[in-house]
A = this chain, B = another copy of it.
Amino acid sequence: MLSKRAKYAIKTILFLNEYQDNKPISAKTISSEERIPYKFLENILRDLKSNQIVKSIRGAEGGYVLAKKPSEISVAQIMRIIDGPIALIPCVSEKFYEPCLECEDEETCRIRKLFAMVRTEMVHILDKSITDLAGL
């Protein structure tokens, strides 16, 4: 399951993309509009910022802005930043690969083959950009 953090993060990015016209949007606004606990949201925005998904402007009239074009931000990127791997088992993860401790031979493991297929299909869909999402 997707964590609430990740869901909040995706909603935040979608909100920024939709309602931003030059001016930054404050965490307070996002919090009340998207019903995300304020302090929890600040925490999430920090991660998104440190990963160059959003930029921040401090002080009065400050807030957050997308750090790149919406066509260059994918849901998969956001999920990886917040929740880590997309794959269901670590031994088939592209970005967070780890061997399974008990596994004897990765090459012949049927569970691995099945979940590699699952990962491929998941990533295929989740790699859609924020712009693509609007067209669904």
Using a CB–CB cutoff of 8 Å, the interface residues on chain A facing chain B are: 1-2, 7, 10-11, 14, 34-35, 75, 85, 88-90, 102, 110-111, 113-115, 117-118, 121-122, 124-126, 128, 133-134, 136
Chain A interface secondary structure, helix, strand, loop or mixed? helix
Complex contact B122–A136 (CB within 8 A) = no
**A133 and B121 in contact, given A1-B85, A89-B2 (Cβ under 8 angstroms):** no
Known: A7-B111, A34-B102. 19 other contacts (CB 8 A): A1-B85, A1-B88, A2-B88, A2-B89, A2-B115, A14-B110, A35-B102, A75-B114, A110-B133, A110-B134, A114-B125, A114-B128, A117-B125, A118-B122, A121-B121, A121-B122, A121-B124, A121-B125, A122-B122
